[in-house]
Amino acid sequence: EADIYQTPRYLVIGTGKKITLECSQTMGHDKMYWYQQDPGMELHLIHYSYGVNSTEKGDLSSESTVSRIRTEHFPLTLESARPSHTSQYLCASSPGYNYGYTFGSGTRLTVV
């Protein structure tokens, strides 16, 4: 069973809309991450967080923003969706160094 939950699972939305992708984990992990993945391709880190009130941009430039007000919650927001944002967004968490990640099931976003 997943201990990290992403909603929605699929989202089709029109250009210009504001969207928030939800990610919650029940494991008390301090470190959380957002990755972007196009079909059949590698994952690219777009945001990460060390803990509450700490967020950093990842290696791939993204127009999205994140917040970390509670340990368990790490939502990602797109203020104005564009077709170029169409992708799969994967959220993950980790207890720390030398531990693996636990991934959510992902949100597949399509902007039309």
Q: Given the rule CB under 8 A, which residues bind other proteins?
A: 2, 6, 31, 33, 35, 37, 39-45, 48, 50, 56, 58-59, 88, 90, 92, 94, 96-106, 108
Minimum distance between the CB of residue 2 and other proteins, rounded to whole angstroms?
7
Q: Which is nearer to other proteins, 19 or 104 (CB)?
A: 104
Minimum distance between the CB of residue 43 and other proteins, rounded to whole angstroms?
4
Distance, in Å, from the CA atom of 6 to the CA atom of 33, rounded to the nearest integer, reads 12
Nearest to 91 by CA among 39, 12, 31, 40: 31
Tell me which DSSP letter residue 10 carries.
Answer: E
Backbone dihedral angles phi then psi of residue 109, each to the nearest 5 degrees: -105, 130
